[in-house]
Structure 1
Amino acid sequence: MDARVDKGAAVLAVDLDGTLIATDLLWECLFTLIRQNPLCLLLLPLWLARGKPRFKHEIFSRVDPAPETLPYRESVVARLRDEHVAGRRIVLATASCRRHAEAIAEHLGFFTSVIGSDAKNNLKSKAKVVALKAAYGDCGFDYMGNSRDDIAVFETARRAIAVAPDRAAAGWARAHNAEMLEPPEPVSLKTVAKMLRVHQWSKNILIAVPAVLDHKILEPTVILQLAGAFFAFSFLASAFYIVNDLFDLAADRGHPSKSKRPLAAGVVAPAFGVRTALVLIVASLAIGTLLPPAFLLVLAGYTVATFSYSLKIKRWLLIDVLVLASLYTVRVIAGSAATDIPPSPWLLAFSIFFFLSLALVKRFVELDQAGIPEKERLNGRGYRPEDKETISQAGIGSGFAAVVVLALYLESSHVHEIYEFPWVLWLLCPLVLYIILRIWILARRREFCDDPVVFIASDWRSQLMVALGGVLILAATPFPYALFT
């Protein structure tokens, strides 16, 4: 038995959010509710106007989180099990919903009783002190907590135990020589980068495509415009990666790789994720105001489409991949809007088919890796194992359609006007086919598990094909006149 186990008569009261679990139940339930019924967004201000207890009650009464999916702090659970074996009475005292707390207590099996919030009482800070004193008397309990709101309880408890405390709680614990079960650890830049999925920013290089094809990529003004558009789109995309992760917390925790994401793993608190997303959105809009107004319209359209995708669309059969392909194509449109270069219909048609193929390969890989039986739907998606062959055929067909569009474009009068040696560009067709077919072959071999666009940006063979494509475009161009005038 752990030597720290206290055999005294005082009960051990344990906070839930941030202490027993490395997350906040209110935030989790809020995002689950919005995902289930987006119209509830309109009701949130009305509920909040009726007071914090009512606000929490309205959310908790509509959502039932699964206790088995929550990210429990292993050190805390192990400590409590030791205390329970030693005969200690353990109380779950939380500002979250009492009903949900009771379900968690029943799941873990070592809590003696539960104290929680209801529609009239928000059991937080001093209110929790009053409830614990009424039940166990002055200094009749030890308390395990983590936040600024727990300091009032720490000061009343016989003994305080700080678990991964925030700055205020950590300062109090050091000043009073209180025990720290898990020392505070600031969120590292590596963790933040992982939450933002910075590696996905490579997708936004697509913003430069219109300028490259229009031979304006080396103009100083265009370079500045593209740089601003790149970061504006990257910040906004990262904000919605966070939002998407918040909507999918429970589902991600059951996934072999997504469970390691900072929010799903409990390494980053939901509130921190929300604050970060808001900062990124504001930064994106601030940069967008420096670019042509059309770019802000594209950002607005991307915001609506991405939010809708995160809420509902990604669960709809086939509609999801069509929207996903469109979101890639929007980046090309954003590049046109940022630089005032009119988008080519040929380029947009090629982009839709090319990125539809990549979106389908992404779904194929998810379905193939899930290992679920036939007629069972992929978690959070509209697909079943028997759809794999159809997805594969549609994806390869979309890739070939993209090449057909490219071939038709190469025969257009526009190409003959801007390129001195347009016949050279025909070699682009086998390069594009190689990239698409190689991804599909690797996917069917189960040797591919990354985002396809990120894969192309990081795979040396794909990079070689892209570089050869660039050489072909230069070779077909009346160099150097077209690039520097």
Structure 2
Amino acid sequence: MTPSATALPPDTCPLYVDLDGTLTPSDTLHESIMLFVRSNPLNLLRMLAWLPLGKAGFKQRLADAVRPNATSLPYNEPFVDYLRSEHARGRPLVLASAADARIVRDVAEHLGVFDDTLGTNAQEDGINLSRAHKRAAIDAHARAQGHSTWAYAGNSRDDLDVWNGSTQALVVNAPSGVVASLQRSHPEAQVFERNTLSLKTVLRAIRLKQWSKNGLLFVPLLAAHSLDSELWGLLLMAFVSFGLCASATYLVNDLLDLPNDRAHRIKRHRPLASGAIGIPTAVALGVAMLVLAFALAFAVSLGFAVVLLAYTVTTLAYSLVLKRLALIDVLVLSGLYTLRIGAGAVASGVDLSNWLLAISIFLFLSLALVKRCAELEELVDEQRTLAPGRGYQPRDLASLRTMGMASGFLAVMVLALYIDSQNSQKLYVHPDMLWAAAPVLLLWVMRIWLKTGRRELHGEDPLQFALKDPFSWITLFVMGGIGLVATVGFQPGYFS
């Protein structure tokens, strides 16, 4: 290195770049923790045992076990484009992070714009490379390369110590307070704007649209032909409770399924997968919603709270293990839909009909299989061999399609058998009118399977598809009208 290298202007001196929160909006430590827990929930206990090792030792043990896939991490694309342009004009770039050194090297190799890396290495010095330690390491590295000045790009309050030693400061994706503090010492700091967390993004993350599924809680009271305002009030509270709980479990599912979601054509745009919402924010939001959900559940009744607990445990088991077990996954999904109906019966005190349960189980099993077939259809189109995080292969498609259509037809058959039962005779003045509902439901089942085969569902949830599908709404109103006509003059009673 020539002596003139020490006098490089600020925009050409070596640039040291932070990783977590700067280069990627996510945090590789949090990503690693979720990967470790996903492989085995008991790993939470193992991590507790590593805490006495200190930050550097903890990161080393965790990186020994799991490392995020650098190719699937979300990146701050405008900043990466800037780094590529700096690299193209010959500026030295170094990735400097408190993350484990192996993770830092993985990311640097993937992006291909960095000349060197600095990371936490517990085996060498046991120092967590953050704040003053990072500043000292960067300064030593720059001087070893023949530079007396250097630039730094970071995002957090911890980086203020590092910026204090830099000639040029770049602040990326930082809170306004950090930007203001930095600009007092570096008024010329180059700012890459932070993507603020919007209410729309939060609502997408908690999947507010999925609350429509919880409308199933109202089915038992509707089937009982009850107009009791107090019961409807309780059900409304139960609906909100179930929605909050379901949203919390969706967050858990997305946290545990980050690698698979990022490999999916559609799911990679979800707030967590894209890095729009950080892992700590998602965890805090999930815990808050879960606490509120159970507070409302106990206000409804102890029995409803028990059902909600069963739903929560089953959903978490699905996210951790069951979703990767072929056939078990669709049975669990159909059971979770049916459990919503049972929860509605418990909340309202209505006796749950075996007929209603049978129709629900078969219909929801058919819809669960629709979802799996739609996903496999995408795999066939993309010429991939195994669904990420699932237990199916494209060659299973024909079998699953047969099971799904048969299950949907069984739901229609149970409806037809119900029409001539004693239960329908008690609740309906004109039960024979219900025969008109059978072909309507049959047409809807056949149509959604036809659309699945034509690749028109694009891997999305069939119930979400139905909410946007005018034909499905027409089907719902027609069947509701048939039920109303059959009910005219009914004697109040319960669907028993």
Q: Which of 82, 86, 111 is the matching residue for 2:85?
A: 82
Whole-Å separation in 2 of the counterparts to 1:458 and 1:85: 47
Local SS of the residue matching 2:42: helix
Is the Cα contact below 8 Å between 2:11 and 2:168 reproduced in 1?
no
User: Could you tell me the percent identity over the aligned residues?
Assistant: 40
Amino acid in the other structure paired with 2:269:
K
Alignment partner of 1:118 is 2:121: yes
Match in the other structure for 2:3: none
Question: Structure 1 stretch 356-365 or stretch 311-320: which is displaced more?
Answer: 311-320
Alignment partner of 1:15 is 2:18: yes
Alignment partner of 1:26 is 2:29: yes
Local SS of the residue matching 1:13: strand
Q: Which of 452, 461, 476 is the matching residue for 2:462?
A: 452
Whole-Å separation in 1 of the counterparts to 2:131 and 2:292: 35
Q: 1:139 to 1:289 in 2, by over 3 A?
A: farther
Whole-Å separation in 2 of the counterparts to 1:446 and 1:61: 42
> What are the ranges of 5 or more consecutive residues in structure 2 without an aligned counterpart?
1-7
Amino acid in the other structure paired with 2:21:
G
Whole-Å separation in 2 of the counterparts to 1:420 and 1:27: 60
Whole-Å separation in 2 of the counterparts to 1:115 and 1:373: 38
Whole-Å separation in 2 of the counterparts to 1:57 and 1:227: 49
Is the Cα contact below 8 Å between 2:428 and 2:490 reproduced in 1?
no
Local SS of the residue matching 1:68: coil
Match in the other structure for 1:439: 448
Alignment partner of 1:274 is 2:283: yes
Match in the other structure for 1:333: 342
Q: Which of 210, 216, 223 is the matching residue for 2:220?
A: 210
Is the Cα contact below 8 Å between 2:32 and 2:63 reproduced in 1?
yes
The Cα of 1:184 is off from its aligned counterpart by 2.2
Match in the other structure for 1:39: 42
RMSD: 2.3
Q: TM-score normalised to the size of structure 2?
A: 0.91
> What are the ranges of 5 or more consecutive residues in structure 1 without an aligned counterpart?
none
Match in the other structure for 2:137: 131
Q: 1:108 to 1:65 in 2, by over 3 A?
A: same
Is the Cα contact below 8 Å between 1:367 and 1:378 reproduced in 2?
yes
Q: 1:9 to 1:385 in 2, by over 3 A?
A: closer
Whole-Å separation in 2 of the counterparts to 1:319 and 1:127: 50
Match in the other structure for 1:316: 325
Whole-Å separation in 2 of the counterparts to 1:356 and 1:160: 57
Whole-Å separation in 2 of the counterparts to 1:348 and 1:174: 64
Q: 1:341 to 1:180 in 2, by over 3 A?
A: farther
The Cα of 1:438 is off from its aligned counterpart by 0.9
Whole-Å separation in 2 of the counterparts to 1:63 and 1:12: 29
Q: 1:223 to 1:77 in 2, by over 3 A?
A: same
Amino acid in the other structure paired with 1:34:
V
Match in the other structure for 2:485: 475
Is the Cα contact below 8 Å between 1:361 and 1:452 reproduced in 2?
yes
Whole-Å separation in 1 of the counterparts to 2:254 and 2:10: 42
Q: 1:215 to 1:151 in 2, by over 3 A?
A: same
Match in the other structure for 1:236: 245
The Cα of 1:332 is off from its aligned counterpart by 0.7
Is the Cα contact below 8 Å between 2:50 and 2:61 reproduced in 1?
yes
Write the deviation string for residues 419-475 of structure 1: whole angstroms up to 9, x where unpaired.
Answer: 222212222211221221110011112222331112223322111221122222222
Q: Which of 108, 111, 121 is the matching residue for 2:111?
A: 108
Whole-Å separation in 2 of the counterparts to 1:19 and 1:55: 22
**How many matched pairs?**
479
Equivalences for residues 123-272 of structure 1 within 5 A: 123-136=129-142, 140-176=149-185, 177-216=187-226, 218-272=227-281
Q: 1:374 to 1:18 in 2, by over 3 A?
A: closer
Amino acid in the other structure paired with 1:105:
A
Q: Which of 71, 74, 79 is the matching residue for 1:68?
A: 71
Whole-Å separation in 2 of the counterparts to 1:117 and 1:178: 30
Alignment partner of 1:59 is 2:56: no
Q: 1:417 to 1:476 in 2, by over 3 A?
A: same
Local SS of the residue matching 2:118: strand
Question: Structure 1 stretch 69-78 or stretch 470-479: which is displaced more?
Answer: 470-479
Amino acid in the other structure paired with 1:129:
R
Is the Cα contact below 8 Å between 2:359 and 2:411 reproduced in 1?
yes
Local SS of the residue matching 1:350: helix
